[in-house]
Structures are given as C-alpha cells and as structure tokens.
C-alpha cells in the first residue's frame, strides 16, 4: 500500500553519494564519528574542558508551503504526473544560499492513495517534496494545524515519503520512540537543537499522546532541556501560532514568546498568520548570560494558491540567520531577509503560478503591468512590516526583563 514515487527522482536521490542525511527512522546523528574518542593520555575531563573551535553557519528559513487545488492543478502535466519545480525554481538561489534550510510543510505529501485536496484538509502529490529537496530544503517542519488532515495513517505516510525523498523532519511522529527523540543537528561543527510545535490540529483529534508536538509550557521545557543535554549550543524553535491575516503578534504569541525566552531560545520562527510579521534581533539574558535572539514573528507564505483576495498573502520572505561560535560560545550574529512574491496569472482560463525573489521584480513589469504595481506596493509594505518592532506585553501586564 505504498505510493509509487517518481522513479527518476528516487534513483537520483538514492544514488547521490553526497546524500548522507539521517532519516528519522534512525537516531539522528548528533556527533561525528570521532567526537567521542578520548585520546590516550587525555582524561575525559580534559577533553570536555578544551575550547570548541571558532565556526559559523547560515540557517535559511522560509514560510508556509500550501498546495491548494489551483496551484496543484497548475503543476499537473499531460501524462497525469506533477512537477512543482517550474513554480518555485526562481527562488532556488536564495533558498539554498546557506548551510541548512527549513520550511513549514503545511500540506502533507501523503500521496495519491489519500486523494489530492486543497483547503480545508490538505494533501499534495509526493513530487512537492522532491521539488523542495531540489530547491535546497533540508528540513520540513510538520507540526502545524494541518498535521492530522489525512488522519494518523496519512501522518505516517507523509513521514515515510519525506524519509524516502531524503528530507529531514520534526514536529510529528510515527511512534512514541520517535517522539521521545529530540532533533539535534551538527552543522559546521555547531550543534543546533530544532523544536517544532503547533497551537492545534483544526479540532481533528490526535489519537495518541505522541503524534504531534503541540504548544505547551511543559513540552517546550522538556524538549529544550533534552536538546541541551544532547549538546545543542543553539535552540531553534519553529512555532505555529497567532491569528491568520494579521501583521502584528497576538497576546497568545507574546505569552508563548515569554515561555521560550525564559528557556533561552536563540531563534524563534513563527508561522500560521499567512502574512509577514516583524523580524527582530532582541537581547535576552539566560542563566546569567546576555545574548542575541532572532525572532521572526511570522514568516508569511512561501508558496500557496489561496483563493480569497486577501492582502499580502502572495508576499513572503526567505530569512537568513547567521550563527557563530567564538571563544567557545555560540550565538546568533545577524538576521536578514529576501522578500519573495507569488505571481499568479491565467492562460486559457487556467491559473499559473511562479514564486519570484524581489530582485527579479522588474523582469515582469511588461508582462504583468497591473500585477507589477500591486507587487511593488506589497514589497514596500513587506519592508516596512519586517522592520517594525514589537512591544511585548505579557498577559499579566509585565514586559520582558531588559538585560
């Protein structure tokens, strides 16, 4: 009862000698093979005290990946197969311009046997996953309000398909054992702990305690502590939160921000509003150390086909988070972004889609004069919104402690 994956894609990935990604069926490798070896004459204590080498890495994060009926149909070829790459190929350069890339895979790719659907219960062709892989995506976030759209069987199939494609994932799980793991990834010698939680699953019951990581103070604390026990120097928390179609954080977001900040989370990546919200470098103090914290309150959409003519849903961004380890201590160094836009037009009554970076905007001025003006205004709005600051006030009326 397994979906047949595209043969050429499967072959291409399985024979790729550079594809050494850990699949979630195995325990994620958190150390290289030599890390735990203690050299003769060195005590384990001396080994532990030796300073970690200076290093740096660039983490790339983009927003919601949503297969509505229209953008899915636009990817359908004459032979009945699907190819999503033409819709997103133009952002490959900025998506792959780092050491590790994550996106919010909001539409599961449970494949044909679950039936392809758009809103409200999403399910996309498996080729969507292959496309993300080709674009340079490394990690699919699967904890969001559509995690249970195809039931627990569909949730498992989604993860099986991601494994076969070679995309790492976190936030949903097939077994209690998987859920008990925490995803720690060593990138350029720096260990990063990735946590992904969601406010809910659209009132679709989760049949067990382990399938979906949901927002709760207890779970967040537990996962962060576990990641640090496994050597994580930086904590990245991807959180599905907030109100849809809003450009300023809600009370719920501010309160969960407080929980994560109390635990010293270094990078917060928010999703769900389908609209950009501010991006900030904040200063926090955790366990006596003052450090930088990158907060992306909402990434907006990366790729979607939302029917409703809502403002700014076609606007998204690809974020760059620079992390460095200096003198044995890792912290966030810089935060930047490249705005993107989901161009839409019709050919013979059929909707067409293409996601383009801000830098390519002028190439489409003649082809889409009306869209161009809208796009220009939305890009200006995006710049302004991302550069807004958030005055965080918790439910009890207090503000974050100033370092």
- Locate tokens 């994550």: which residue? 102
**pLDDT of amino acid 51:** 67
- The yes-or-no verdict on residue 30 having pLDDT over 70 is no
Tens-digit pLDDT profile for residues 180-205: 999 999 999 999 999 999 999 999 99
Residues 8-29 have a mean pLDDT of 34
Provide, rounded to the nearest whole percent, the portion of the chain with pLDDT above 70.
87
Backbone phi and psi for residue 61, each to the nearest 5 degrees, phi listed first: -135, 135
- The yes-or-no verdict on residue 240 having pLDDT over 90 is yes
HEC secondary structure over 356-394: EEHHHHHHHCCCCHHHHHHHHHHHHHHHHHHCCCCCCCC
Q: pLDDT confidence of 10, banded at 50, 70, 90?
A: very low
**pLDDT of amino acid 15:** 32
The model scores a pTM over 0.85: yes
59: part of which helix (H) or strand (E)?
strand 55-65
**pLDDT of amino acid 298:** 99
51-386 CATH: 3.60.21.10
**pLDDT of amino acid 50:** 53
Indicate the average pLDDT of the chain. Answer: 90
- Environment class of residue 55 by beta-carbon count within 10 Å: exposed (0-12), middle (13-18) or buried (19+)? middle
What's the half-sphere exposure (Cβ side, CA atoms, 13 Å) at 161? 35
131: part of which helix (H) or strand (E)?
helix 127-134
Give CA–CA dist 361/343, Å, rounded: 10
Residue 216: both structure tokens together: 């709760």
- The yes-or-no verdict on residue 26 having pLDDT over 70 is no
Give CA–CA dist 218/220, Å, rounded: 6
Strand partners for 338: 318
Residue 12: both structure tokens together: 């291409």
- The yes-or-no verdict on residue 11 having pLDDT over 50 is no
Q: Phi-psi region for residue 385, left (φ > 0), alpha (ψ -120 to 50) or beta?
A: alpha
Residue 320: both structure tokens together: 């760059």
**pLDDT of amino acid 7:** 33
Characterize 294-317 residue by residue with b for buried, 16 or more Cβ atoms within 10 angstroms of its Cβ, and e for exposed.
Answer: bbbbbbbbbbbbbeeeeebbbbbb
Q: pLDDT confidence of 39, banded at 50, 70, 90?
A: very low
Look at 49 and 221; give whichever has higher pLDDT. Answer: 221
Residues 243-255 have a mean pLDDT of 98
- The yes-or-no verdict on residue 53 having pLDDT over 90 is yes
Give CA–CA dist 121/322, Å, rounded: 36
Residue 356: both structure tokens together: 């383009």
Query: 120 preceded by cis ω (within 30°)?
Result: yes
345: part of which helix (H) or strand (E)?
strand 329-347
Q: pLDDT confidence of 403, banded at 50, 70, 90?
A: confident
**pLDDT of amino acid 68:** 97
- The yes-or-no verdict on residue 253 having pLDDT over 50 is yes
Give CA–CA dist 65/303, Å, rounded: 5
* Neighbour count for residue 17 (Cβ, 10 Å): 5
**pLDDT of amino acid 28:** 34
At residue 104, the 3 state secondary structure works out as: strand
- The yes-or-no verdict on residue 12 having pLDDT over 80 is no
Give CA–CA dist 300/271, Å, rounded: 7
What's the half-sphere exposure (Cβ side, CA atoms, 13 Å) at 223? 31
Give CA–CA dist 153/174, Å, rounded: 9
| Sheet strands (E) in 246-303 | 267-271, 279-286, 289-296, 301-303
Residues 343-366 have a mean pLDDT of 94
Tens-digit pLDDT profile for residues 169-179: 999 999 999 99
Strand partners for 318: 62, 338
Give CA–CA dist 146/284, Å, rounded: 32
**pLDDT of amino acid 35:** 38
Tens-digit pLDDT profile for residues 296-330: 999 999 999 997 678 899 999 999 999 999 999 99
Look at 369 and 278; give whichever has higher pLDDT. Answer: 278
Q: Are the beta carbons of 284 and 291 closer than 8 angstroms?
A: yes
* Neighbour count for residue 69 (Cβ, 10 Å): 15
**CA end-to-end span of the chain:** 56
| Sheet strands (E) in 50-134 | 55-65, 100-105
**pLDDT of amino acid 160:** 99
Q: What is the domain partition of the chain in residue ranges?
A: 51-386
Lowest-confidence pick of 25-29, 101-105, 159-163, 195-199 = 25-29
Distances, alpha carbon 18 to alpha carbons 14, 168, 324, in Å: 10, 15, 25
Residues 44-61 have a mean pLDDT of 76
- The yes-or-no verdict on residue 1 having pLDDT over 80 is no
């Amino acid at each position: 009862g397994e979906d047949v994956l595209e043969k050429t894609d499967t072959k291409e990935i399985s024979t790729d000698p550079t594809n050494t990604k850990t699949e979630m069926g195995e325990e994620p490798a958190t150390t290289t093979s030599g890390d735990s070896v203690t050299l003769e004459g060195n005590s384990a204590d001396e080994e532990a005290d030796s300073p970690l080498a200076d290093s740096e890495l660039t983490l790339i994060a983009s927003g919601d990946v949503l297969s509505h009926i229209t953008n899915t149909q636009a990817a359908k070829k004459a032979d009945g197969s699907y190819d999503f790459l033409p819709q997103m190929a133009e952002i490959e350069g900025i998506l792959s311009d780092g050491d590790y890339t994550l996106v919010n895979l909001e539409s599961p790719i449970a494949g044909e046997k679950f039936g392809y659907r758009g809103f409200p219960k999403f399910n996309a062709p498996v080729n969507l996953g292959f496309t993300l892989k080709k674009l340079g995506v490394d990690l699919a976030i699967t904890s969001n309000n559509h995690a249970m759209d195809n039931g627990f069987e569909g949730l498992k199939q989604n993860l099986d398909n991601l494994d076969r494609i070679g995309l790492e994932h976190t936030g949903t799980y097939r077994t209690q054992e998987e859920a008990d793991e925490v995803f720690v990834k060593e990138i350029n010698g720096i260990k990063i702990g990735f946590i992904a939680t969601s406010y809910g699953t659209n009132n679709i019951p989760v049949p067990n305690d382990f399938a979906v990581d949901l927002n709760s103070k207890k779970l967040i604390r537990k996962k962060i502590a576990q990641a640090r026990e496994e050597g994580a120097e930086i904590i990245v928390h991807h959180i599905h939160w907030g109100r849809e179609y809003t450009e300023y954080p809600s009370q719920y977001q501010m309160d969960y921000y407080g929980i994560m900040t109390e635990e010293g989370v270094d990078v917060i990546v928010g999703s769900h509003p389908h609209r950009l919200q501010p991006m900030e470098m904040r200063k926090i103090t955790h366990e006596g150390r003052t450090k930088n914290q990158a907060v992306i309150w909402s990434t907006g959409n990366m790729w979607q086909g939302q029917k409703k003519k809502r403002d700014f849903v076609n606007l998204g961004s690809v974020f760059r988070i620079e992390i460095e380890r200096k003198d044995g201590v890792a912290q966030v160094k810089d935060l930047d972004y490249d705005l993107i836009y989901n161009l839409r037009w019709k050919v013979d009554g059929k909707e067409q889609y293409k996601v383009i970076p801000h830098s390519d905007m002028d190439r489409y001025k003649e082809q889409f004069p009306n869209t161009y003006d809208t796009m220009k205004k939305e890009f200006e709005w995006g710049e302004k919104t991302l550069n807004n600051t958030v005055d965080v006030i918790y439910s009890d009326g207090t503000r974050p402690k100033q370092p």
